[in-house]
Amino acid sequence: MKKKKKKTKKVISRELGLEVGSICGRYFLKLQHLHYGYWTGDIEVDAANLHLAQDKYVKFTISHVPDGVKTILDVGCGTGEIAETLLDMGYQVDGVSPCPFLKKRASELLGDRSHIFECFYEDLQAANRYDMVLFCESFQYIDMEQALSKTNEFLKSGGYLFICDVFRKDIEGKMAMSGGHKLSKFYELIDKFPFRLIENVDITEETAPNMDLFCDVLENVVQPVVDAGVRFFESRYPIALKFLRWKYRKKIGKVHKKYLEGGRSGEDFKKCKSYQLFLYKKDAQE
Ligand SMILES: C[S@@+](CC[C@H](N)C(=O)[O-])C[C@H]1O[C@@H](n2cnc3c(N)ncnc32)[C@H](O)[C@@H]1O
């Protein structure tokens, strides 16, 4: 029997990160989604326009859903906004969400129009079979082999695997930006499954500006707020701060290196990442 996916520290902090991102994004920037924006030259790259770029991402993605699809499994459905758009268009959509906070939000939004399985995709047990399994920026969080094998299980014969997500290029050395499966590994693995490539669109250029926005927020919001906090503690509790700095020096060093020493711009993203839309068809198996 397969073991249930364990909630590791990394998974817990990632879920919390998505939860906090969803709360802050909605409150400060009126964001409904949890994915990147799709920036075409007609909108200025500005945090205030991120919601417009995210809507474009949804339109772009949905425009690639193939004809004939009626039932969709939205894996990692986040706040449920994409599922809602698909439901409004007449598709039947179920979701998968391992995060109780996001699942609650999606359930409130979708009501009884959709069933959301609260579990990791790796652990999903269901009798349903779908015309399409959709991963919108959720593929990167799931072990690839398990994601593909589960998708093979939940797709009807002739159904579609739809992935829109960021991948890593084969780059020597350590990059500041982590995340995303290796593209070369993905190509190796997908060949072992009965999936035939129907469409592939590279949207690295249109998604790279999100990193410029991210850098801007780090430089102009996060760094000054952290500096102010440190100054406050230095004036009130200098000895405690000195101790904490020493005790967590490795962690502080890591965070500093990861977020505050550059290497995260749109140009860096284009060098080491590749944002791809993949549409595969499951071939009938004899
Ligand atoms: C970046 S968000 C994208 C949400 C949504 N698809 C969207 O485009 O707005 C990633 C989503 O993947 C989900 N996720 C992470 N690990 C997962 C797993 N192992 N199985 C299923 N979903 C997962 C998260 O809970 C979250 O909803």
The tens-digit pLDDT sequence of the chain (286 residues) is: 456 666 677 777 777 777 777 777 776 667 777 888 999 988 888 888 888 899 999 999 999 999 999 999 999 999 999 999 999 999 999 999 998 888 998 999 999 999 999 999 999 999 999 999 999 999 999 999 999 999 999 999 999 999 999 999 988 777 667 788 999 999 999 999 999 999 999 999 999 998 888 877 777 777 788 888 888 888 888 888 888 888 888 888 777 777 666 677 888 888 899 999 999 999 876 5
The structural domains of the chain, ordered by start, are 9-206+276-282 (3.40.50.150), 209-260 (no CATH)
Question: Is the CB of 210 inside a 6 Å radius of any atom of ligand 1?
Answer: no
CA distances for 224 relative to 172, 215, 216, 227, angstroms? 33, 13, 12, 5
pTM of the prediction?
0.83
DSSP assignment of 155-178, as one string?
EEEEEEEEEEEEEE---SS--S--
CA-nearest residue for atom 10, ligand 1, is 138
As a dihedral over the C-alpha atoms of residue 266, residue 272, residue 278, residue 284, rounded to 10 degrees, the angle is: -170
**Which is the closest atom of ligand 1 to the Cα of 58?**
8
Ligand 1 pocket, 73 CB below 6 A?
no
User: What integer pLDDT is reported at residue 178 of this predicted model?
Assistant: 76
Quote the pLDDT of residue 251.
83
pLDDT of residue 27: 65
133 lines ligand 1 (CB under 6 A): no
272, burial (CB in 10 Å: exposed 0-12, middle 13-18, buried 19+) = middle
Q: Using most ligand atoms within 8 A of CB, pick from 22, 36, 85, 141 the residue to mutate for ligand 1.
A: 141
The encoded tokens of residue 231 equal 């100054």
Q: How many residues does the chain have?
A: 286
Q: In this predicted structure, what is the pLDDT of residue 6?
A: 65
CB-based burial, 127-150: b 16+ in 10 Å, e otherwise: eeebbbbbbbbbbbbbebeebbeb
Helix 223-236 vs helix 238-247: angle between axes, to the nearest 10 degrees? Answer: 130
For ligand 1, whether the C-beta of 33 sits within 6 Å is yes
What is the pLDDT, as a whole number, of residue 3? 60
Q: How many Å lie between the centroid of ligand 1 and the Cα of residue 229?
A: 32
